[in-house]
Structure 1
């Protein structure tokens, strides 16, 4: 039976979009290239007996509304809180623990600066106040430039809260959206360790220096989530990130969504200026009145749509849409837990995000090196060891670790390929961890390597971009992905976008999928009751 909607890609945003559309009564078919749903949010065995979240690896930004509407907890999803947000070893043998409550974090800050400890409550209050604005906007369709009176009204409504904020709060918003992370943090703190503890968020999935203007916004983007009702917290999905998308799959199938795996789309079909379906790589065609793409803008418009079907100005601009998050991803099987020189015995610090980037200067050098040679001499490494809280991932007494690494150029200079350099980069990352945790190298039983090119080939992340596109001011809100085509509606009739290349951007949020479904239902004048409050 011909569906009403085809969704290209069954990542978490595509699954979210499919659920809401099917719940509103539409017939939905999903076409997924890989043999498993979930996109980059999947759990797989990467070494005999060892399983892990392959690409995305931690949870915070997943919208509570999506969790509730899709009944993910009732379908078995459990998210465990981290005891601390981050553990940062320092070169002098000390360490900083961030999170675990205000008083604990203040005590940690006081080891480095009493003034920073005193400044922390005001900083948290400021950040939470601005993050609340993002939380409100995350599940709203951004106004579309050129959309007439309706778009102007939406812009006034969404911008109203900002306009009503006290001038001091408006200054905070301006700082976070325009300043570099360093300039922003310098206005609050004096300790290099403390600034690194917060500044790391500014380079996560961001091929940039903490000195790059606008990098403070990326810091903010990573704190507007919550875990189990605690704002700004991060957690672990038991069973890995695939537990989220498998629960989403159940919710979709209960609503009648048809999901086809092993169905790689080669071309979005356009006839007489309207999207009418998709052709698979092996030739079969699927047709529907609506096509929604859960892939990034660059993949969609550069590879899946005939250039002749695009307006030349739009085609030129989308080629300028910035991708490439500088990310290199590894999963390692370990015979034992690492012992960090700064804190060698097992403890709650190993259940947190372990950040091997002690200062903003270190992060800046990592980016500068990558720009010059393609990879950092001393890369930024975040390590999570989910098996410390989830014994389903590794054999008893052994562990898995996620290594999320920055800065690695999306495209190497001098014509070099990541196929030739991936092992050297992986060795560099292991050696970096070894410097902080002697013996780590010998504990590695096996490893899975995902260079920027591997991320593109495996998950369709152009340039290895985990965000589907840079989170810079020119690619946010009504300009994500392109001004005039930011309300989840593509430049071709019947074509919609529901992935992280749309508002509010990257991370496992479900927000783009939720909002795209709302836009589709609005256009069909069957807006479901579930959206009337949003």
Structure 2
């Protein structure tokens, strides 16, 4: 091995790769990041998509980024600032009716009471149930799961987790089992009777989840979206000033200050494998770069199906990875607007426009969207969430004008009958705009420019196989000690010298930084640091 070779070569400059690089470099390792694009940040980037208009073009809102990572990397001191949503969600329902949640528990109860006094009364207990489960997720997020065949460390991790679960009351254990196994509808039916109330909470169960709210296990995805915090407020979501790219810009600054080398426009074509060990990479341009450790901040499907020859992988591992499921059913649009939309159900401006605007009035609507996508390739009436970040961040658009993020479900990763998303993209975008127009007439006339990202575009642009924003389905068979597969839950690949630090590892998708943090811990423990540099 060349004496000048990096101690760690990280494939992919997304936020988890940056987090992993920072901790390794802080421990004294020589680290180099290779990023295929000309901008750092992976899917957490802020880009100009129309002259004078900038937006978070993929990942678009923050909550799950771990407070420990924010503190360790000094992000606040470097300029990290998040504006909380004054309201969580605005759900237009038609006929001049709507549900507006999140200003406070009492205000949300008052809103819900318009639909069901019983649901309003049950809301505090529902929140307490979610928070009890979310607290366990927070504890587990920065710990490596027990790994099959992992020896004493895996045994200790399993015992620690089992003890934590055993300390819970029987009702709390019962609730957690339900959250991990039930469909979102089954869970919500046990708590609420009102259709709009179930819709506003059920939406989180299909975000990045190519599934129906009736799919077993979809309740967990709901939970995954509530274990974060903003500015110390648990469960809160917010807008990063400067867009999501501001997070990764500041992370890159911290990395460079720690001595990390960042190479842009350096796309990896293959890993170099010798005698069952990962020893380097070959770039698209043909350059070979060797390193003592290869750390993949790309999804498992991309890594094992495209960057490593099948013959270099153990047969049992290949079989497990063949069944690894990708495809979140997501479709992204970024719009430059000449003005603000006016919603029929709640006209004018107000805090509702600063919230997550959810255009999906019922669980049945969400189920139909999924069934349509299975049948036709995309929902005839998609599920649409709109955010207008320029209302709290005037750096994103010219004065008096705005940008809108549209996050949309359900759109098949692969279209039926061999059709291509290149041919279907515009039709799908029109279906999305039809939904918005039905709630805010005249919306199309506000559009000055747009960026449309189909599942195929998300794959090409950000390396998200199947357009999967989570690097792999967040289902029980692909969570915790089974993420990405049994036997590789400790951030180690099946080859010596190969590690994983992306969202395809525990605790999964979202801008958390946790996989990068945990992978660094595994690498440092393997090197004999015993976690000292992770604090």
Farther-moved stretch of structure 1 (255-264 vs 95-104):
95-104
2:111 and 2:250 map into 1 onto residues whose CA distance is: 38
Q: Which residue of 1 aligns with 2:368?
A: 365
- Please point out which of 441, 462, 466 is paired with 2:465: 462
1:427 and 1:373 map into 2 onto residues whose CA distance is: 15
- Does the CA-based 8 Å contact 1:24-1:528 persist in structure 2? no
In the TM superposition, residue 528 of structure 1 has moved relative to its aligned partner by 4.5
Q: Which residue of 2 aligns with 1:26?
A: 29
- Please point out which of 120, 124, 139 is paired with 1:121: 124
In the TM superposition, residue 93 of structure 1 has moved relative to its aligned partner by 2.1
2:529 and 2:77 map into 1 onto residues whose CA distance is: 28
Root-mean-square deviation (Å) = 0.7
Confirm whether residue 211 of structure 1 aligns to residue 226 of structure 2: no
1:21 and 1:527 map into 2 onto residues whose CA distance is: 13
1:378 and 1:519 map into 2 onto residues whose CA distance is: 45
SS at match of 2:54: strand
- Does the CA-based 8 Å contact 2:182-2:216 persist in structure 1? yes
Q: How does 1:222-237 map to 2 (within 5 A)?
A: 222-237=225-240
Report Cα offsets for 1:111-142 as digits up to 9, x if no partner: 11111110001111111011000000000001
Q: How does 1:64-75 map to 2 (within 5 A)?
A: 64-75=67-78
TM-score (norm 1): 0.99
Q: Which residue of 1 aligns with 2:491?
A: 488
- Please point out which of 501, 506, 512 is paired with 2:515: 512
Structure 2 unpaired stretches of 5+: none
1:68 and 1:175 map into 2 onto residues whose CA distance is: 34
In the TM superposition, residue 154 of structure 1 has moved relative to its aligned partner by 1.3
Confirm whether residue 79 of structure 1 aligns to residue 46 of structure 2: no
1:515 and 1:528 map into 2 onto residues whose CA distance is: 10
1:413 and 1:529 map into 2 onto residues whose CA distance is: 51
Count matched residues.
532
Confirm whether residue 8 of structure 1 aligns to residue 6 of structure 2: no
Q: Which residue of 1 aligns with 2:162?
A: 159
Confirm whether residue 242 of structure 1 aligns to residue 245 of structure 2: yes
Dislocated runs of 4+, deviation >3 Å: none
SS at match of 1:90: strand
SS at match of 1:401: strand
In the TM superposition, residue 92 of structure 1 has moved relative to its aligned partner by 3.0
Q: Which residue of 1 aligns with 2:175?
A: 172
SS at match of 2:78: coil
- Does the CA-based 8 Å contact 1:338-1:440 persist in structure 2? yes
- Does the CA-based 8 Å contact 1:176-1:184 persist in structure 2? yes
In the TM superposition, residue 159 of structure 1 has moved relative to its aligned partner by 2.2
In the TM superposition, residue 91 of structure 1 has moved relative to its aligned partner by 2.5
Report Cα offsets for 1:164-194 as digits up to 9, x if no partner: 1000000000110000000000000110000
- Please point out which of 397, 410, 417 is paired with 1:414: 417
- Does the CA-based 8 Å contact 2:5-2:292 persist in structure 1? no
In the TM superposition, residue 527 of structure 1 has moved relative to its aligned partner by 3.2
In the TM superposition, residue 146 of structure 1 has moved relative to its aligned partner by 1.6
Confirm whether residue 263 of structure 1 aligns to residue 266 of structure 2: yes
2:202 and 2:196 map into 1 onto residues whose CA distance is: 10
1:147 and 1:41 map into 2 onto residues whose CA distance is: 33
- Does the CA-based 8 Å contact 1:329-1:451 persist in structure 2? yes
SS at match of 2:80: coil
Confirm whether residue 61 of structure 1 aligns to residue 58 of structure 2: no
Q: Which residue of 2 aligns with 1:134?
A: 137
In the TM superposition, residue 285 of structure 1 has moved relative to its aligned partner by 1.1
In the TM superposition, residue 77 of structure 1 has moved relative to its aligned partner by 1.0
SS at match of 1:73: helix
Structure 1 unpaired stretches of 5+: none
1:466 and 1:528 map into 2 onto residues whose CA distance is: 29
Q: Which residue of 2 aligns with 1:342?
A: 345
Q: Which residue of 2 aligns with 1:375?
A: 378
2:467 and 2:38 map into 1 onto residues whose CA distance is: 20
Report Cα offsets for 1:225-278 as digits up to 9, x if no partner: 000000000000001000000000000000000000000000111111111111
Report Cα offsets for 1:20-59 as digits up to 9, x if no partner: 0000000000110000110000000000000000000000
1:163 and 1:92 map into 2 onto residues whose CA distance is: 49
In the TM superposition, residue 158 of structure 1 has moved relative to its aligned partner by 1.7
Q: Which residue of 1 aligns with 2:319?
A: 316
SS at match of 2:428: helix
- Does the CA-based 8 Å contact 1:61-1:507 persist in structure 2? yes
2:464 and 2:304 map into 1 onto residues whose CA distance is: 13
